[in-house]
Amino acid sequence: MKKIIDYLKNEFNSYSKNIRITLMVLFALVAGFLIFGIQILFWGLGYTDMNNNFAMGIWIIGDLGLVALGGGAFFTGFILYIFRNDKLEPLINSTVLLGFMCYLFTFILLVFDIGQPLRAWFGYTYPNWGSHLMPQSMLTEVVWCLTLYFCVLCVELIPIALKHKILDSIPVLHYIGHYLHKLMWIMAAVGTFLSFFHQGSLGGGMWGVLYGKPTWFRPHYFFLAIVAATAGGTSFMLLIPKIAEKVMKKKVAPAESFQSLAKISGIMFIAYTIFRIYDIVVMSVKYVPLADRSFIDLWGGFFGIWLLVVELACCAGAIVLLNLKKFREQEKFLFYGVICGVVAVVFSKFDAVLHGFSVPNFPWKGFTGYFPTIQEWVVMLGSFATMALIYMWFAKYMPFFPHLEKEKHKEGGN
């Protein structure tokens, strides 16, 4: 035991002061996550600020945000394995891990969000189908697609783990990893098919069918959510390795890999912004008037039109900084561009959840507000902290970045 403690102390002290402070903050958030998570699971949702108006709170924003950003994993894998853009190969391990963690913690946050975790299996088995009934629960499709795609990500993650020098030295595991890697194009195709449906249904479909809510109802919301995931998700898949580069102070992937993914994200943001403007126009002239309201009247209360302004401003920033070569090739502007992309998609989820619930169903009622409790904040931030620690562990102890491993071998050979 003493040897383990000494090893951990030496390992911790080997980092710089800033990294040690960061690690302490992350571990503190994880500890808070465990404490408050147990409190909420055992004593119920009374520790949250959710109510009959805000039936879903900050955790569902985390779910929607993680799923949308994790959607960059399926799209990047699809471009690499199906369209054979080999420039993305150095980033695929990072992409798979990020997608895996986004979906894993989507499930974890859902456990808290549903209120009665022991009944979580209802989502798989009660689609509300019956004689002379159309399917009533879109959440059933969401749960099944999420689960199946998570299984696909698990399969995609196995070859990365098996590349560790200890595991790779075992012949059976070496061949398993080798042949699984050859099957990745099938996993990419299956993952794209599954992700297409749950991105649309969870991100837009389950909200867009609610004709009683003028802020949500529109048939094309399903497709808008898919395009948002391909745009913001690819920015996220680029942002995290860039942060890893700054922390490790080493090039984790060739510049052409980042440039290729940035161009893809930039093009998708053009498509998303056009679609979003179309969405706003159609909502204004067609769907909101069905509820005898005007579009601008819906933008009141604390979660007001500033959410939409920030989202569109970030979309514009992503388009300019990721599509114009003179900006994209500068490290600083590339970093700002992908941050704009991530923020744009996250704010679209803030808009859907916080603004959507705050708007009254009837014009004679007032706007409502929602302020997450400390328990809600810590559970969500603790989830993100755990994700950060897992990513850091993979980056340090696993052959995570092929480009970095090649550079190490070159240095060793010299």
Tell me: the pLDDT tens digits for 230-273? 999 999 999 999 999 888 888 888 999 999 999 999 999 999 99
* 396 within a domain of the structure (yes/no): yes
- Residue 408 has a pLDDT of 58
Supply the angle between the helices 92-113 and 221-248 in degrees, to the nearest 10. 120
In a domain, 119, yes or no: yes
Residue 413 lies in a domain: no
**Residue 8, domain member (yes or no):** no
Domain presence at residue 412? no
The answer to whether residue 407 is domain-embedded is no
What is residue 120's predicted lDDT score, i.e. its pLDDT? Answer: 79
Domain containing 24: what range?
A: 18-401
124-146 mean pLDDT: 71
Residue 298 lies in a domain: yes
| pLDDT of amino acid 43 | 85
Higher pLDDT, 387 or 44: 387
Q: What distance in Å separates the CA atoms of residue 296 and residue 243, rounded to the nearest whole number?
A: 39
Q: What is the CATH number of the domain that holds 135?
A: 1.20.1630.10
* Intra-chain end-to-end CA distance of the chain, in Å: 39
Instruction: Please determine, for residue 3, whether its predicted confidence score (pLDDT) is greater than 80.
Output: no
Q: Give me the pLDDT at residue 271, please.
A: 97
Span 81-103, average pLDDT? 90
Q: What separation in angstroms does the CA of 326 have from each of 301, 309, 331, 378? A: 40, 26, 11, 40
Structural domain count of the chain: 1
Condensed to tens digits (0 to 9), the pLDDT of residues 34-65 reads: 999 999 888 888 888 888 888 888 998 988 89
Q: For residue 206, what pLDDT is reported?
A: 83
Q: Specify the pTM.
A: 0.91
347 pLDDT higher than 90: yes
Query: Residue 90: CB partners within 8 Å, gap ≥ 6?
Result: 252, 253, 254, 257, 401, 402, 403
Mean pLDDT across 201-205: 83
Q: Is pLDDT at 377 greater than 90 in this prediction?
A: yes
Across 72-76, 192-196, 385-389, 406-410, the highest mean pLDDT is recorded for 385-389
Residue 410 resides in a domain: no
Confidence band, pLDDT 50/70/90 cuts, at residue 318: very high
Q: Whose CA is closest to 113, among 61, 69, 52?
A: 61
Specify which residues 130 forms β-bridges with. Answer: 133
Q: How buried is residue 323: exposed, middle or buried, by Cβ count under 10 Å (0-12/13-18/19+)? A: middle
pLDDT grade, residue 212 (50/70/90)? confident
- Would the pLDDT of 128 be above 80? no
